[in-house]
Chain A
Amino acid sequence: MKQHGFTICVIEDNEWYNKLLVHTLSLNPDFTIKSYLTADSFLKDLDTSPDLVTLDVRLPDMSGTELFKKIKEHNPNIQVIIISEQDEIQTAVDFLKNGAYDYIVKEKDIKTRLHHSINLIRANRQLEDKIAVLEKEVINKYDLQKTIIGNSSAVQNVLKLVEKTLENNITVVITGETGTGKEVVAKAIHYNSIRKNKNFIAVNVAAIPSELIESELFGHEKGSFTGANNRRIGKFEEANGGTLFLDEIGELDLSLQAKLLRALQEKEITRIGSNAPIKFDSRIIVATHRNLKEEIKTGRFREDLFYRLMGFPIELPPLRSRGQDVLVLAKYFINGFCKENKIPIKTLTEEAKNKLLNYHYPGNIRELKSVIEFALVIGSNKEIIGEDISFISDELSPEIVTEEMSLREYELKIVSSFLKKYNNDVKMVAEKLNIGQATVYRMIKELNGTKIKAKEIQQTGK
């Protein structure tokens, strides 16, 4: 963070008051104070861009209003506190409307008020500096080369596609199995795009109950429904100027698909309980693990919305098809974990490497990350050895595979069993199975729509 002093220019034609202000402000050793009796003498120094100007409304050579305008035109970041003999509300309102930080009347409490305002300005300035540093860090964090990691041709192809999306606002559709990094890619697109200085807002459609999703996306007015105690802006408005990432778009109810389509076509949304449409300007990125064309055939996804969204498709490859990328990613996760936890960096033995390379990763990169972190914690050697590598599938009960079921049914059975075991704690189940919470919600939905649910509940409920 930028560490600097704080320069204040006192512009006051009254010698008495000028001296008094300079004396009062000089008591703080962090402040550098410059004194001016006329507007003209200050304007000659304007290029030095002070942090703050205290400005008398009435000056002999120029009105305070005119000088204020010149200061703000020169550099809108210079804060200005108006110091006035007059207690005129309209004058104060006009100055504050035009960007003055405060309007202080020359009265007994001037010292206290002035210091209070300056403290607030300095606190704001520190926050602004901090935000600037963090924004820089975020942009650096999502540098494409640091975000989309891997040397395989599949990943290099993804990188090339992502680069094509950076200089325009085309809607991007990211597909790929769970854990392949759809949100990471969405963030990488945003933080390297022309919208990087605005918000990136992510909404996991599958993780929000259907009755709340409309309010979440479009916002609502106070009193528009039971429990709407305040006005709330939706994610579309939050993302205005930036990027809205709709994860698991395939899980959106048909009725809301129609509303989303309308919003995307008209570039405007209407809060629940309001009749006033609100324009928005956001880049839309959507992601899904589903094959949306298949969803259209089964009537679960609107064809018109599909074509509206199908701007620029990017398909993320499953980790099992990325060959040596497994080791590149493993190294990346080792370095990250060791750095974060301040432990010496470990390397992988050949045996550990082979074990990692010969696994099929149903949970993809997310699963690999968990496997590596577990290995780093469990291992007591300087290197990660084969024994430290443990996959969740290794722990599956052997009898489970004796029943004749499809792979999907096995997955549902496992999730159902874990939900029972952890008292329907979705977060816990997701952690234990090394899958995303969205996946668990999706599977719950699926369980609700199949007989397996009833069967499982009966079985596990005994």
Chain B
Amino acid sequence: MKMFKKLAEFLLPAIALGGVVFWYLTAPEYVSDDLLAGMENGDAIAGETIFWAGGCASCHGPTGKKAAGAAENKSAQFVLGGGHGLNTPFGTFYVPNISSDPKHGIGSWTGKQFANAMLKGVSPDGSHYYPAFPYTSYAKMDVKDVADLWAFMKELPAAANSNKSHDIWLPFKLRRGLGLWKMLYLNNDRMVEFENPDEKLARGQYLVESVAHCGECHTPRNIIGGFDKKRWLAGGPSPDGDGNIPNITPHDSGLGNWSLNDIVYSLESGFTPEFDSFGGSMTDVQQNMAKLSASDREAIGIYLKAVLPVASKPK
């Protein structure tokens, strides 16, 4: 009995201390207010480019029957009611409504709240978002681009639908723990270091690594869902268990045989150099890329040619 008491005397404070440390480490982080001074003064026209580069509509756009033909119909893609289910090894995430509807969407948000969602993965009520929302890529965005996107998104139509709650495994339901994950993976680091990149390469790097978040699909992940940085853009089995994600590094098992023009043209037209077409999720991504300027598509190609070639793993 004495022994038990002694143990309790030691254990309980230890657990309490552990709890405090955990609570401290997992607290949401915010962008400083000074940086966000211009959040309500963005340029909506410039924001449209960010909207397409970021592929917002590919996840948050119309689902089910409404989605038929939406990829080809620009205005249908502006209805960001979400609802689409994303299958991952952690469970199914249901994409939220980010339309301008004040009740079901994000119409009642402030620019600062929007910026903290995009750049820090924190919701207006201070909880962590799951990284199914690719904020670890968006975290590297310029604040001005986030402000422009916000200005554009505020003008989009409202969708008055609510969506299912995420259906994920119990341990992952505790969002607070994501604070620890963010300590590992939420930062401004570049994925590739170039010595004196010219303007085009730097633009390509910004688009691929941040706004267009290409790595979110094309880079394999470790067991806790972080990027396998050594295999940046080297593809691998699809996380939803169906098919393979292509290697887009300049290795022979990736885009090694594609010329710069091949890459750029595929993003414009949807055709591979063999004149097969893209399939799966890449068809929507390509439709988004087709709406960028030719110079942005070229920048993406230049970057993809400049990253380290990595061999695909045998299937």
On whether the two chains bind one another, the answer is no
